[in-house]
Chain A
Amino acid sequence: MTVERTPSQTVGPFFHEALRWKDGARASFGEAGERVILVGRLIDGAGEPVADALVETWQLAPSGSAPETAASATKPAGFARVETARDGTFRIETLMPGGSAPHLEVAIQARGLLKALRTRAYLAPEPAVRADPGLAALAGSPRLLTLVAKREDGGLFRWDVRLQGDGETVFFAA
């Protein structure tokens, strides 16, 4: 038996208090790993900051396994949720995901987005990202670079997201 999906609708501008989690911007795990910070900025088709978005990430645990929520945990493991600030920026603290092309699965919701935008932030150098068989559809494409976060000092990765226009980020069909 199959049933039809419920359609998506925009998260609108008034979600903040409802969807804000205590310590939501920090993904927790039941294991240790390399601490990394993903920072970025969301920009719309006019180059303006997207100041009312919700950014969420899923990922593998540092060991490469699916994260499992510890009995003592206060929120689900391996998941982060943060709203963008007035200047369109966001910041997520997590641990380096396992795998040969470590990445975060990202969903973006906002006013004006009738369904989530799905993308990825790779925390790996470009050659490793190019070698990810999951990105076969982008083989040879310069747009793949929009998925590669730039490593800076202190475990910091910078990854800006352009929703529309020049340098538009790759978004996935889900």
Chain B
Amino acid sequence: MNDLSRPGDIDPPYLYPDYRSTRLRAPREALVELPKGALDFPAARVPAGFVHGRDSDLTLQGASAPLGEKMVLSGRLLDESARPVRRSLVEIWQANAAGRYDHPGDTHDAPLDPNFTGIGRVLTDDDGGYRFVTIKPGAYPWQNHAFAWRPQHIHFSMLGNAPIQRLVTQMYFPGDPLLAIDPVYNSVPDEKARARMIASLALETGIEGIALGYRFDIVLAGAHATPRER
């Protein structure tokens, strides 16, 4: 069974019964080891034209501005040796300010915002840096247990520059009281590791008089993607 997390684990276990959907999807057999470095080979680069400038500003996708607290969300993408992960794809998606996703599967009784899709993408720069302009998402209820509400969060998907670096995570906001009751956030066993999913308020990275600033640095696995060997 993969239900026991060990001290020092960074990732959550597959089986975390408090998060109900894991119960029938977590493998029961032990994971099999691949030779070290098997997934740490360079993946093909994402062409620059894959991303357009406007893709990183989620407040410009409608006829007018979306509702909500405007925010600049920026940070750096690093590997475990603290080297920048350059020219790498970061994709985000989030609920609108009312806590509703622009997604056919979201049945929460909160309004859609015609000026907000909640979807963005960007390529990191040569310093591993990225920057989005968006709005703060709302919290929303879900079916996991009675009175379950997800804390405010933004989904992050990092393609990485090697298969080992592929990471999907969620970014949370400092001081959110819903973090304490959220099984997804709390599935990460180590308190310090959990804290690394929380952005920090950094007002000076915002836009004076217009947008709050939050910083969120992301560290991917692997640091050994080597030049082509074959």
Contact = CB atoms under 8 A, between A and B. Distances in A.
Nearest to A63: B230
A105 B41 CA distance: 11
A18 B93 contact: yes
Contacts of A134: 34-35, 38
Given A79-B43, A112-B24, A116-B166, A65 B230 contact: yes
B168 A109 contact: yes
Nearest to A48: B24
Contacts of A66: 41-42, 44, 228, 230
Contacts of B19: 10, 112, 114
Nearest to A70: B47
A33 interface: no
Given A6-B169, A11-B157, A107-B166, A115 B12 contact: yes
A4 B44 contact: no
A155 interface: no
Contacts of B119: 17-18
B43 A73 contact: no
A76 interface: yes
A75 B21 contact: no
B117 A17 contact: yes
Identify which of B155, B167, B168, B218 gathers the most chain A CB atoms within 10 Å of its CB.
Answer: B168
Interface of A: 1-19, 44-46, 48, 50, 52, 56, 58, 60, 64-69, 71, 73-79, 105, 107, 109-118, 133-134, 136-138, 143, 163-165, 168-174
Interface of B: 10-14, 16, 19-29, 31-35, 38-39, 41-47, 49-50, 78, 80-82, 91-93, 101-103, 105-106, 117-119, 155, 157, 159, 163-164, 166-170, 184-185, 187-188, 192-194, 196-197, 218-221, 228, 230
